[in-house]
Amino acid sequence: MSKVAIIGCGAIGSTIAKAIDSGLVKAELIAIYDIVIEKCVDLSRSMMRMKPLICTDLECLLINKPDIVVEAASQEAVKSHVPYILEKGVDTVVLSVGALLDPQVMERIREASVKGRSRLFVPSGAVCGIDGLKALSIVGFKKVKLITRKNVKSVDEKSLLNLGYKPSDITDSTVVFKGSAEEAVVKLPFNINVAATLKLATDSEVEVEFIVDPKTPRTVHELIAESEASRIRVIVENVPHPDNPKTSYLAALSAISLLKRLIEERVVIGT
Ligand SMILES: NC(=O)c1ccc[n+]([C@@H]2O[C@H](COP(=O)([O-])OP(=O)(O)OC[C@H]3O[C@@H](n4cnc5c(N)ncnc54)[C@H](O)[C@@H]3O)[C@@H](O)[C@H]2O)c1
């Protein structure tokens, strides 16, 4: 049976761990790691079948040789841990996709994966249409645009303050950011992984508009992509994850679906 280890025992990491524990993903959860150890302990206590090793460092996470490590922690965790894991020959799933737009990080990841003969996987996350974008990237794009609308409660407060907005002052729909995907992942590191995923899937300039809307109960991503082969318009209306309103529930489900594909599927559907 495939052995999985998880970095980050928050909303996404815990949802994935529970999917393994329930047997939905046919794997063994061998280790979990979080900078806040209580998060690991709480998650481990909630498990019915699995008794993962609780780790406070990366060596511990790798000691029992996982087949797949899932990163569901932070951009910092990607930068400091993922190249090392790949170099050790372990396939890795990354959720904190924004980190991958840093060219130096991507270069280290590419080198490490060649050295370790391992692969990095990025789930579609909180957006849909990645299959079509990957296919269209063969002919290129005239335009790729992402318009994201989030409730103020789902937006990281510190990021908003850095953009010059006090959350309590936003009483109406307000565009708080317009710019490239590269700028978006730096200015809104906890809220705009989707922009990074689109950038990686299209290998094209991605215009991002981020709207804070106190009236929307959902996180809405509208993706517009124009190419000579197709015009794509996708609107995804996501329910916030019950344990972390900054994260869409779909992002956790997407990671579970990717794990099932990597571990179980003999017939693979979709690009
Ligand atoms: N790809 C997508 O579409 C998508 C969607 C939503 C969230 N995300 C990203 O996925 C990641 C996890 O999201 P979440 O909602 O579970 O977050 P969360 O805040 O609920 O949980 C993150 C956990 O990781 C731990 N952590 C942070 N840095 C760490 C490090 N360096 N080493 C070990 N543990 C660390 C934290 O203590 C926390 O328990 C975030 O980076 C988030 O931005 C991606």
pLDDT band at 95 (very low <50, low <70, confident <90, very high): very high
Candidate from 95, 97, 221 with most ligand 1 atoms within 8 A of CB, to mutate:
95
Candidate from 16, 18, 34 with most ligand 1 atoms within 8 A of CB, to mutate:
34
**Which residue in the list 39, 187, 221, 241 is annotated as catalytic?**
221
pLDDT for residue 271: 78
| Residue 145 neighbours by CB under 8 Å, 6+ apart | 206, 207, 208, 209, 223, 224, 225
Give the separation between CA 57 and CA 77, rounded to whole angstroms. 11
- Strand locations in the chain (E): 2-7, 27-33, 53-55, 68-71, 91-94, 120-121, 143-150, 174-180, 207-212, 219-226, 231-238, 240-241, 244-248
| Residue 211 neighbours by CB under 8 Å, 6+ apart | 147, 148, 149, 150, 173, 174, 175, 176
Task: Point out the ligand 1 atom lying closest to the alpha carbon of residue 77.
Answer: 31
Name the residue ranges covered by the structural domains of the chain: 2-122+251-263, 130-238
Q: Is 94 in the pocket of ligand 1 (CB under 6 A)?
A: no
Q: Is 128 in the pocket of ligand 1 (CB under 6 A)?
A: no
Q: Whose CA is nearest to atom 34 of ligand 1?
A: 34
pLDDT beyond 90 at 189: no
- In terms of Cα–Cα distance, which of 40, 16, 3, 227 is closest to 125? 16
User: First and final CA of the chain: distance in angstroms?
Assistant: 26
Q: Is 126 in the pocket of ligand 1 (CB under 6 A)?
A: yes
The SS3 assignment for 253 reads: helix
Strand partners, 148: 210, 221
Pick the CATH number of 130-238 from 3.20.20.120, 1.10.1500.10, 3.60.20.10, 3.30.360.10: 3.30.360.10
Q: For residue 203, what are the CA distances in angstroms to 83, 87, 138, 145?
A: 21, 25, 10, 13
pLDDT band at 190 (very low <50, low <70, confident <90, very high): confident
Task: Point out the ligand 1 atom lying closest to the alpha carbon of residue 76.
Answer: 31
Query: What percentage of the chain reaches a pLDDT higher than 70?
Result: 100
Q: Is 11 in the pocket of ligand 1 (CB under 6 A)?
A: yes
Q: Which fold has domain 2-122+251-263?
A: Rossmann fold (3.40.50)
Distance 10 CA to ligand 1 centre (A): 6
Q: Is 97 in the pocket of ligand 1 (CB under 6 A)?
A: yes
Give the residue ranges of the annotated binding site: 126, 193
- Tell me, yes or no, if 221 is annotated catalytic: yes
pLDDT beyond 90 at 191: no
pLDDT tens digits along 136-167:
999 999 999 999 999 999 999 999 999 999 99
Give the separation between CA 165 and CA 159, rounded to whole angstroms. 9
Give the residue ranges of the annotated binding site for NAD(+): 126, 193
Q: Is 76 in the pocket of ligand 1 (CB under 6 A)?
A: yes
Q: Which tokens in the block code for residue 139?
A: 């002919």
Distance 201 CA to ligand 1 centre (A): 21
pLDDT band at 192 (very low <50, low <70, confident <90, very high): confident
pLDDT band at 82 (very low <50, low <70, confident <90, very high): very high
Containing H/E element for 125?
Answer: none
Distance 12 CA to ligand 1 centre (A): 7
